[in-house]
Chain A
Amino acid sequence: MDHLEVLESQSMFILREAYRSFGDLVMLWSIGKDSTVLLWLARKAFFGHVPIPLMHIDTTFKVPAMIEYRDRFAKQWKINMIVGKNEEVLESKETFPDGKTNRLQCCASLKSEALKHTLSGDWPRWVLNHKSGEYEKQLNGKPFTGVIVGARADEEGSRSKERYFSPRDRHNDWDVADQPPELWNQFKTDFAPGTHVRVHPLLDWTELNIWEYIERENIPIIDLYFDNGEGKRYRSLGCYPCTSSVDSTAKNVREVIAELRGGKFANIAERSGREQDKEDGSGLETLRRDGYM
């Protein structure tokens, strides 16, 4: 088996292990390349089906093309699609783009908070009705206790220390100093009531592996990742006020891979376009201990 086949097999194994072990499981889909690869791996693991609902946290500052793309594939692949958002903060405009708060705080409320409450079901969820093609507001959803996330160990420091199955306590907190052992392919699949788990099937993948796999499998990926003639593209998708595009003329997957292998991005960190990481030395660790994905 080549390295992509090894990575693929391990991720499928992890997804199936999660599906076997946890009843109330959900997978996060940010529309970006990693979680789209994750979705594809779920289709691999479950033989073309997606038996786990997908959740998207909409900050409303995402590029509109992302939402269009999300709904197109949610329908085509018959996905049980759930959308969540922080209605209160969006209404009061306590956001960074509205100039009322800083980047870290904005991320914390539009992403972490929204995620926490949409997962627990105490905030409304918008669920795609496949018959009408519309989203319907749903109240009092049951809490999800397992969350599958497309985090990669190579993204930044605190992620390099993650487990495939990572427990979070009642308050969503991550105890980095005391993580459970993970031996061979036996993960922590037993949980005390009230606690829950993050599952990370993509930990061993690098950004380059992701693109190589997209190419090999011909996975339809959103075209914001490619230059449409203006010499600019996104390398990582976030909210538009905080994610800058990079100068690049890579027009397709093959050219992106060339850039990463030996070209201009071979040695430049992927998240370097994300401003919120920079606000303090370990901004992302702080966010992540607190439930950021």
Chain B
Amino acid sequence: MSQVEEKNIKSEKTSSEQMNIVVIGHVDHGKSTVVGRLLADTGSLPEGKLEDVKERCKRNSKPFEYAFLLDALKDEQAQGITIDSARCFFRSAKREYIIIDAPGHIEFLKNMISGAARAEAAMLVIDAHEGVQENSRRHGYMLSMLGVKQVVVLVNKMDLVDYSQTVFDSIKEEYLAFLKEIDIEPMSFIPVSAREGVNIVSVSKKMSWHDGLSTLEALDSFVKEASPVDQPFRFPVQDIYKFTEQGDDRRIFAGRIETGTINVGDEVVFLPSEKKSRISSIEGFNVAEQSQAFAGQSTGFTLAEQIYVKPGEMMCKVDDTLPITSTHLKVNIFWMARQPMIKGKKYKIKLAGTRVPVWLRDVVTVLDASDLTTDSNRQQIERHDIAECVLETLKPLAFDITQNIAQTGRFVIIDNYEIAGGGVVLDEVYIPTSRIERRVQQRENNWQRSRITPKMRSSRYNQRSTLVLITGAAGDGKENLAKALEEDLFESKRMVYYLGISNSLLGIEDNIDESGERDESLRRLGEVSHLFTDAGLILITTIDDLDDFELEMINTLNRPNDCRVVNIGANQFTKATVDLQVDNLDSQKEAIKKIKDLLAEKKYIVDYSI
């Protein structure tokens, strides 16, 4: 059901179109001047702005630059350089534009990338006098990686080379050859002089040999890409809302549809948990009731069957081609941080809605994008490198190969709170053992055993050790049960211990799983359990909202010792086996008896008789 407020539904459709264009190229080749000119010569500047800037230049006895219209920061004007990408707004007869004027200096590459990642098309500026330079190539390469496919090349400062067609042709030839290597087919090459305003808003007679478009015409010739409504449905769950205190009992799965289309009634599956449900309604505020939602919309859904899903999972349609679910990804990464990316260090990956710990496993090749040379003997990834490498995540995550679905096939890497790198997924990699399994193997190989064997402990204590893991939705009943169980077993002379710290270790703050802290706490818990069970104890603990992956992790870490799962209330697992299901805790006594029966049946407590 949708709420409609103040009797208003969308009155009339405005049909206007908006496009984001980035202007890139080597430092000082005239990007800001091109944009400044474009704004000035189309009359897009606010009244008085041009005069203001001219006046200020005069006052400071500096020559006027069109670039000052964009380079608004004090440092930028002082140094005559663009530091950060600027958005400027511009309207042609055809549509609205946000033009992003990117910096060309290598020091500010991350700012250029931030600008270009927002763009649908690019204008790449090359200085006719200086010719193709390092960042002309590097920026071109970044476009291909960021997935910007439409490119127009402006050969600027033609005034410095006497508007020579020979110079233009040779630059065109050289750069075309480069673009071909990286699979970009430019829409056109245009000779311009930004400072003189030649071929900016209209084709000038200065270069009669140029029979192509002006810069403005080229801008308008970019094609707005159709929204990906026909692709498989991808909905990264951004959050799950329940505004109960405000008297609203809808449980809404909120997020933005990245690709595809969905209808009320469609069957959906959440990955990686593989939980299934059906779309019950499409929610919105101040919109008419909808039965369909599609790519690009920030929306929300309620589901027919209530299931427990965490933010970060990907909702897909059961009948669609599904994304890959894996812990290993082959990727192309560009690194922006000063600290290199190294093996053995824990980073965080953010892909669609997921945020999980990740490690660099293998560096395949490193590419220098300024000349396309490669190096296959590198162990780490340095600033501004582009590397093909293998990443390993702690948990499986759902993703697509970028060639198939770009929106869910790209990611960033966080190092010490900062976005340090970005990348695209090339493929999945099959690796038979998980990180945790390798860790356990290593641990078992190095474990120093004494002469006291598990068997000796078992007969001394008159019990077999195991971890008793009590799971289920959050609620305090589980802890009381665990304590009572400990007491009961203790009274019957068992070696038993209740580990009461688990839930507080995991924290009650809802954001904790996003930083990977929950996983880390669970890992420790697994190691601690292993110690207790190895010492021959029956260890009892409770964990709220455990999922399949987390249980698997604890199980693995606790090996070779046993783990028995007692689930209270709704079963939140899709794959894991629950050893004992207790529907409610109405009678604690009853529950304890069931658990003890289980322990007897599985021969942990041998002499226990009913």
Closest CB-CB distance, A175 to chain B, in whole Å?
11
Closest CB-CB distance, A255 to chain B, in whole Å?
16
Interface residues of A in 16-61 (CB under 8 A from B): 16-17, 19-21, 23, 43-49, 51
With known contacts A176-B83, A179-B84, A269–B46 Cβ distance under 8 A:
yes
Contact B298 A13 (CB under 8 A): yes
Among the stretches B383-391, B408-416, B448-456, B472-480, the one at the interface with A is B408-416
Contact A267 B73 (CB under 8 A): no
Contact B72 A272 (CB under 8 A): no
| Smallest CB gap from A267: residue in B | B47
Q: How many inter-chain contacts with C-beta < 8 Å in the A-B complex?
A: 197
Contact B46 A272 (CB under 8 A): yes
Interface residues of B in 405-447 (CB under 8 A from A): 407, 410-412, 414, 417-419, 422
Residues of B within 8 A of A185 (CB): 256
- CB of B15 within 8 Å of the partner chain: yes
Closest CB-CB distance, A204 to chain B, in whole Å?
6
With known contacts A3-B14, A9-B297, A161-B73, A180–B419 Cβ distance under 8 A:
yes
Contact A13 B256 (CB under 8 A): yes
Q: With A and B bound together, what is the CA distance between A188 and B17 in angstroms?
A: 29
Closest CB-CB distance, B148 to chain A, in whole Å?
11
- CB of B45 within 8 Å of the partner chain: yes
With known contacts A1-B227, A2-B13, A268-B47, A183–B414 Cβ distance under 8 A:
no
- CB of A217 within 8 Å of the partner chain: yes
Residues of B within 8 A of A180 (CB): 110, 418-419
| Smallest CB gap from B256: residue in A | A13
Contact A218 B241 (CB under 8 A): no
Contact A183 B87 (CB under 8 A): no
Residues of B within 8 A of A177 (CB): 73, 75, 83-84
Contact B117 A182 (CB under 8 A): yes
- CB of A156 within 8 Å of the partner chain: yes
Interface residues of B in 340-360 (CB under 8 A from A): 348, 350
Residues of A within 8 A of B238 (CB): 13, 16-17, 20
Residues of A within 8 A of B75 (CB): 176-177
Contact A282 B74 (CB under 8 A): yes
- CB of A216 within 8 Å of the partner chain: yes
| Smallest CB gap from A154: residue in B | B89
Contact A51 B243 (CB under 8 A): yes
Q: How large is the interface on B (under 10, 10 to 19, 20 to 34, 35 or more residues)?
A: 35 or more
Residues of A within 8 A of B11 (CB): 215-216, 218
Closest CB-CB distance, B175 to chain A, in whole Å?
26
Interface residues of A in 108-140 (CB under 8 A from B): none
Residues of B within 8 A of A268 (CB): 46-48
Interface residues of A in 65-119 (CB under 8 A from B): 78
With known contacts A6-B296, A51-B243, A184-B410, A160–B87 Cβ distance under 8 A:
yes
Among the stretches B22-30, B246-254, B546-554, B559-567, the one at the interface with A is B246-254
Q: Mark B259-275 against chain A: 1 for CB-CB distance below 8 A, else 0.
A: 00000000000000000
Interface residues of B in 1-31 (CB under 8 A from A): 3, 5-6, 8, 10-18
Among A10, A43, A184, A203, the most chain B Cβ lie within 10 Å of the Cβ of A184
| Smallest CB gap from B252: residue in A | A47
- CB of B284 within 8 Å of the partner chain: yes
- CB of A244 within 8 Å of the partner chain: no
- CB of B56 within 8 Å of the partner chain: yes
The residue that A192 contacts in the complex, of B5, B13, B410, B417, with Cβ under 8 A, is B417
Residues of B within 8 A of A184 (CB): 117, 407, 410, 412, 422
Q: Mark B22-51 against chain A: 1 for CB-CB distance below 8 A, else 0.
A: 000000000000000000000111111100
Contact A12 B298 (CB under 8 A): yes
| Smallest CB gap from B258: residue in A | A185
Closest CB-CB distance, B152 to chain A, in whole Å?
22
Q: With A and B bound together, what is the CA distance between A203 and B241 in angstroms?
A: 26
Q: With A and B bound together, what is the CA distance between A158 and B89 in angstroms?
A: 14
With known contacts A23-B511, A160-B86, A190-B348, A183–B422 Cβ distance under 8 A:
yes
Residues of B within 8 A of A43 (CB): 285-286
| Smallest CB gap from B7: residue in A | A218
- CB of B96 within 8 Å of the partner chain: yes
The residue that A182 contacts in the complex, of B45, B86, B96, B419, with Cβ under 8 A, is B419
- CB of A63 within 8 Å of the partner chain: no
The residue that A9 contacts in the complex, of B15, B18, B72, B298, with Cβ under 8 A, is B298
Closest CB-CB distance, B512 to chain A, in whole Å?
11
Contact A44 B285 (CB under 8 A): yes
- CB of B362 within 8 Å of the partner chain: no
Q: With A and B bound together, what is the CA distance between A19 and B64 in angstroms?
A: 45
Contact A163 B73 (CB under 8 A): no
With known contacts A13-B238, A181-B113, A268-B47, A158–B72 Cβ distance under 8 A:
yes
| Smallest CB gap from A77: residue in B | B5
- CB of A290 within 8 Å of the partner chain: no
Q: With A and B bound together, what is the CA distance between A216 and B250 in angstroms?
A: 26
| Smallest CB gap from B238: residue in A | A16
Residues of B within 8 A of A269 (CB): 46-49
Q: With A and B bound together, what is the CA distance between A206 and B84 in angstroms?
A: 20
Contact B10 A282 (CB under 8 A): no
Residues of A within 8 A of B300 (CB): 47
Q: With A and B bound together, what is the CA distance between A267 and B49 in angstroms?
A: 10
Residues of B within 8 A of A217 (CB): 8, 10, 286
Closest CB-CB distance, B83 to chain A, in whole Å?
6
With known contacts A217-B8, A267-B43, A47–B248 Cβ distance under 8 A:
yes
Residues of A within 8 A of B544 (CB): none
| Smallest CB gap from B413: residue in A | A186
Q: With A and B bound together, what is the CA distance between A163 and B254 in angstroms?
A: 23
- CB of A191 within 8 Å of the partner chain: yes
- CB of A259 within 8 Å of the partner chain: no
| Smallest CB gap from A281: residue in B | B56
- CB of A147 within 8 Å of the partner chain: no
Closest CB-CB distance, B255 to chain A, in whole Å?
8
With known contacts A177-B75, A190-B417, A282-B72, A48–B3 Cβ distance under 8 A:
yes
Contact B72 A160 (CB under 8 A): yes
- CB of A223 within 8 Å of the partner chain: no
- CB of A157 within 8 Å of the partner chain: yes
The residue that A190 contacts in the complex, of B49, B111, B515, with Cβ under 8 A, is B515
Among B72, B252, B256, B336, the most chain A Cβ lie within 10 Å of the Cβ of B72
- CB of A153 within 8 Å of the partner chain: yes
Contact A190 B414 (CB under 8 A): yes
Q: With A and B bound together, what is the CA distance between A13 and B84 in angstroms?
A: 24
- CB of B239 within 8 Å of the partner chain: yes
Residues of A within 8 A of B111 (CB): 179, 181
With known contacts A44-B286, A46-B241, A204-B87, A285–B73 Cβ distance under 8 A:
yes
- CB of B85 within 8 Å of the partner chain: yes
The residue that B243 contacts in the complex, of A10, A13, A47, with Cβ under 8 A, is A47
Q: With A and B bound together, what is the CA distance between A139 and B4 in angstroms?
A: 38
Residues of B within 8 A of A182 (CB): 114, 117-118, 419
Q: 28 A-B pairs, CB-CB below 8 angstroms?
A: A3-B16, A3-B96, A5-B297, A16-B238, A44-B298, A47-B243, A47-B250, A47-B254, A47-B285, A47-B300, A49-B243, A153-B86, A157-B73, A160-B70, A160-B72, A160-B86, A163-B114, A177-B83, A184-B410, A186-B350, A188-B417, A204-B87, A204-B98, A212-B14, A215-B11, A220-B6, A267-B44, A285-B72
New contact pairs (12) apart from A44-B285, A183-B410, A281-B56, CB-CB < 8 Å: A3-B14, A19-B239, A23-B511, A51-B243, A157-B72, A182-B118, A185-B256, A190-B348, A190-B414, A204-B87, A220-B6, A282-B74
A-B CB proximity, top 8 nearest? A157-B72, A269-B46, A12-B298, A218-B8, A3-B18, A153-B87, A186-B412, A190-B417
List the interface of chain A (C-beta within 8 A of B).
1-10, 12-13, 16-17, 19-21, 23, 43-49, 51, 78, 153-154, 156-158, 160-161, 163, 176-177, 179-186, 188-192, 203-204, 206, 212, 215-218, 220, 267-269, 272, 281-282, 285
